[in-house]
Structure 1
């Protein structure tokens, strides 16, 4: 007698949307190398992006130089000629790096320090004369828009504030339903705030910090909408946020080095300021996780962040590893309006990009395994009390589980876990990324537990069982297409009262290898699910000629 019966049909057609770029951008921008130079008030940065022939993209080189341009403005607000010429030499160095990579184009932008300079036109003309680069001067609104775009393309946040603390300005943006509602650029950043309040090499007295926060808060009050949405998360971009995240991770021995998506409560800011402010710059340089060229501006940067957190009444702070250069790159090279419509698109685009960067097995096989895995999940999960997010994790894992074959087929599981834990991909939090990597690389409970030992601080009660169940579903789905021929056209999934899981497949050809694989997995699958899988096959008649 049947206990439960499910039926799922599968289409063998490959999806029309190709991996990576979509729409007109695919034809326009594939197989390019683009250099992006951001002339910031505190740091000048280079990122060299590669767009591959199949539409994937990645950063292949980067550079940085601590410019401190905001500190070099004269009393009259001008950028001295020697500072401009020094900057030109840095740009020429970055240009040589771009030339080495054979970039198809270089895009250079300048932000607050040059925007605020009284001689900005002359400075830009001089830079162009020496370097041959055309430098675009961004407005504060441009900075806010590009920063928000970088966040939207790399995080699944629906509602929240975005703050980008630079050397000479701070941009704040309000997002609702992934759309920009309000934005503003304030003329204070970590460098000019340090200069304004005399935060030099010595410890910063409490009275100076109180005065700075008071004045910053007064400026923030000029935009009432900042205080009108309490409880939203604050997404932070820029060097101040990344530096603080590094310090925080080192202080708690965080098991990941990934800054993108790292979260901390607002109280952590106050604790950090209490630790860092009493130290002189030389002692700050010895703080684990803090780069030496950030030691003199970390305190004013954190004071700005604290003022913004208090003004927004943020519930939590999340670090965004992407920034201005990424936003400009996305806008210029990978236009995609749909990114604003759905946070799910972030994970989808990221999986496509990873799959295109590390092509291993035929895409048709991965899609068949994905369909089979989700079909098994939809049939069996309701009785297993798995969290709703489990389907998203299995979906991602079943499309990436062979990615480690790019390094070595024999140790695919180990390499898959490593790549998914160290590659740049977006749309999942750190814990969810860990669970996905464990599911994708699952080969049994013993190996899984060994891999997860260094990451136990990220795990919660029930995660081992969850990984085992989803990992076995993926193993079974892969066994059902072991010949990589997409032989199964439709599948009936039946749970018998005897706890047998009957998989009745209508196939285009005999599935001898698949039947053997399912039989091999049966014992382990029963340990995880309490069900014994059995595959039965009926071969479809060939189409008439």
Structure 2
């Protein structure tokens, strides 16, 4: 906290329909791209429900009681901003649908100004849609597909291509509908009270509106062609209503319990996303069994969200994947103010930069050279595409972060680093990247895991593909050897103690016949032989070779996905040569 600079702190109040969110973010470089949050709070004040509190159910003004509650929380946040020394010009109060459409909207905003001294920026429909879409863009390294934001009073639909810091959406912006989670709950209840015909009319209205909206968005031809080639659009979802649906899906995951309890980056296949009956049954069960991050209020809105999901399924083009994100108005507003060169940065690398040693780039080169760059000659095995340069840079940045942790807990610290550790608050990281990095770092430090930690490691291995699980084990053990050679993580200029080179070879194994073997050639620099000897590294070399033994391969019977259950065990025979 003592390193925070006042000019880099930005406070945002998001006065939404279902609640009011308060946050202070640090936009200092080099981590501005991931907009680290240094304070956050939420007031469960529904400005939408506040307008339907009368006995007749008709819309009315926000009551004096609710306004006083809002003022009280704003004044409390004002005190917090003073504690953090946030500059007045960096405090932003944003209001959306519920405030915009309130009968006493102007009076409400005037009272806030009088009692807090703050002006409220009332976002138009178009602004709310644009900023909400930017919140989605902030949540991933890149976005290409359809984007929806489900708030309490409204929902927005647009398309987006976010690449290299440039964000392009429909020239029309986002199409807004009065189908927010709270608003649609009320309309659905009213329709059902009138009978099936009224409910059918509501569904027909929604389908027509979404179909017409999609046609009006002028989806680029290349985006539609990409969707046809790939088997459908990627659908990106934000907003509290969709996040609640995502957590319900997470609780129904085939991998139980789901190992990464972070909604941003959670991905669902359409068949699960569209299984409204199962999700609604899960929500009903939550009355007796608490479901992580699903409140009673979100549970009460599940029937309406289920209706929306059903309508989307029947109205939009084919969807191939559904991706949930944390980013909303707050994140979109901050992301909108970042320079293009910052927005184009890879969030995975940015999130790990603060932990990098001065020689992280050299360490990256070593890890990279330990991975084969070609296909194996017999089984065409290769390093999975997930082991991208950005992921390897991130691993290199994190390789020494747990050096100060007690020796016996280092493997566990690495294992949990991406879920409850140093990267837990970095919202823009894909779940697969979190899993792979955790698996690598758990192998990076020698030692045992406790049974509960072994169980978590096993679930992470089930979460990724067998290939990704095995190569994570291999790279983690190579990283352990690198750590022994460079215990401080620093490489003197112009002096390299070791070099790696890899080649594929064909060997005969009794149980496998002729198969692929990866030869890792490890060369010690002549000048370093006095400080680093072969004998000192034999344990690490043995551990690398052990992961190539068939008994340590990733077992096919451990897979949870139906399409993987009949796959063969995966692994690669390893031979390490010391020169």
Q: Does 1:399 align with 2:425?
A: no
Asked if 1 retains the 8 angstrom alpha-carbon contact of 2:141 and 2:347, the reply is: no
Please, which moves more after superposition, 405-414 or 314-323? 405-414
Deviations 1:271-310 (A, max 9, x none): 3356638999x98586634202323333223423443344
Partners of 1:524 and 1:203 in 2: how far apart?
Answer: 67
Asked if 2 retains the 8 angstrom alpha-carbon contact of 1:276 and 1:284, the reply is: no
Of 462, 476, 479, 1:474 maps to 479
Q: Secondary structure at the match of 2:45?
A: coil
2:349 paired residue number: 351
2:250 paired residue number: 249
Asked if 1 retains the 8 angstrom alpha-carbon contact of 2:276 and 2:309, the reply is: no
1:150 paired residue number: 135
Distance 1:304 1:180, change over 3 A: farther
Q: Does 1:186 align with 2:176?
A: yes
Distance 1:277 1:168, change over 3 A: farther
Asked if 2 retains the 8 angstrom alpha-carbon contact of 1:35 and 1:49, the reply is: yes
Asked if 2 retains the 8 angstrom alpha-carbon contact of 1:245 and 1:259, the reply is: yes
1:288 paired residue number: 291
1:265 CA drift (Å): 3.0
2:96 paired residue number: 111
Asked if 2 retains the 8 angstrom alpha-carbon contact of 1:36 and 1:107, the reply is: yes
Partners of 2:281 and 2:501 in 1: how far apart?
Answer: 65
Please, which moves more after superposition, 120-129 or 62-71? 62-71
Q: Which 5+ residue runs of structure 2 have no aligned equivalent?
A: 53-57, 508-517, 549-572
Please, which moves more after superposition, 165-174 or 80-89? 80-89
Distance 1:89 1:378, change over 3 A: same
Deviations 1:192-242 (A, max 9, x none): 222334359x99987665443322222223321459646211111011111
1:269-418 to 2 correspondence within 5 Å? 269-273=273-277, 276=280, 288-289=291-292, 290-313=294-317, 314-332=319-337, 335-338=338-341, 345=345, 348-356=346-354, 359=355, 363-378=357-372, 385-392=382-389, 393-405=391-403, 407-408=405-406, 411-418=409-416
Deviations 1:118-149 (A, max 9, x none): 43222211111122222111122222222222
Please, which moves more after superposition, 224-233 or 152-161? 224-233
Partners of 1:265 and 1:355 in 2: how far apart?
Answer: 32
1:455 paired residue number: 460
Distance 1:478 1:259, change over 3 A: same
Partners of 2:502 and 2:321 in 1: how far apart?
Answer: 44
Partners of 1:148 and 1:303 in 2: how far apart?
Answer: 23
Partners of 1:92 and 1:239 in 2: how far apart?
Answer: 25
1:421-460 to 2 correspondence within 5 Å? 421-422=419-420, 423-425=424-426, 428-442=429-443, 443=445, 447=449, 452-460=457-465
1:10 paired residue number: none
Partners of 1:55 and 1:459 in 2: how far apart?
Answer: 28
Partners of 1:146 and 1:157 in 2: how far apart?
Answer: 17
Partners of 1:338 and 1:312 in 2: how far apart?
Answer: 34
Asked if 1 retains the 8 angstrom alpha-carbon contact of 2:370 and 2:520, the reply is: no
Q: Does 1:98 align with 2:81?
A: yes
Partners of 1:54 and 1:390 in 2: how far apart?
Answer: 23
Distance 1:187 1:492, change over 3 A: closer
Q: Secondary structure at the match of 2:189?
A: coil
Deviations 1:38-88 (A, max 9, x none): 001121111232456865652233222233322333757644444433322
Asked if 2 retains the 8 angstrom alpha-carbon contact of 1:354 and 1:425, the reply is: no
Distance 1:131 1:426, change over 3 A: closer
Asked if 2 retains the 8 angstrom alpha-carbon contact of 1:251 and 1:288, the reply is: no
Q: Does 1:220 align with 2:194?
A: no
Asked if 2 retains the 8 angstrom alpha-carbon contact of 1:204 and 1:278, the reply is: no
Partners of 1:205 and 1:153 in 2: how far apart?
Answer: 43
Please, which moves more after superposition, 60-69 or 497-506? 497-506
2:262 paired residue number: 258
1:451 CA drift (Å): 5.1
Distance 1:169 1:251, change over 3 A: same
1:540 paired residue number: none
Of 12, 16, 19, 1:36 maps to 12
1:543 paired residue number: none
2:555 paired residue number: none
2:515 paired residue number: none
Asked if 2 retains the 8 angstrom alpha-carbon contact of 1:41 and 1:112, the reply is: yes
2:44 paired residue number: 66
Asked if 2 retains the 8 angstrom alpha-carbon contact of 1:73 and 1:79, the reply is: yes
Distance 1:449 1:514, change over 3 A: farther
Q: Secondary structure at the match of 1:176?
A: strand
Partners of 1:329 and 1:150 in 2: how far apart?
Answer: 8
Q: Does 1:512 align with 2:556?
A: no
Q: Secondary structure at the match of 2:383?
A: coil
- Measured on the aligned residues, the alpha-carbon RMSD in Å equals 3.8
Asked if 1 retains the 8 angstrom alpha-carbon contact of 2:6 and 2:86, the reply is: no
Partners of 1:209 and 1:269 in 2: how far apart?
Answer: 22
2:105 paired residue number: 120
Asked if 1 retains the 8 angstrom alpha-carbon contact of 2:520 and 2:574, the reply is: no
Asked if 1 retains the 8 angstrom alpha-carbon contact of 2:415 and 2:457, the reply is: no
Distance 1:306 1:471, change over 3 A: same
Q: Does 1:196 align with 2:196?
A: no
Asked if 2 retains the 8 angstrom alpha-carbon contact of 1:403 and 1:412, the reply is: no
Which has the bigger relative contact order, CA under 8 A and spacing at least 6? 1
1:88 paired residue number: 71
2:574 paired residue number: 530
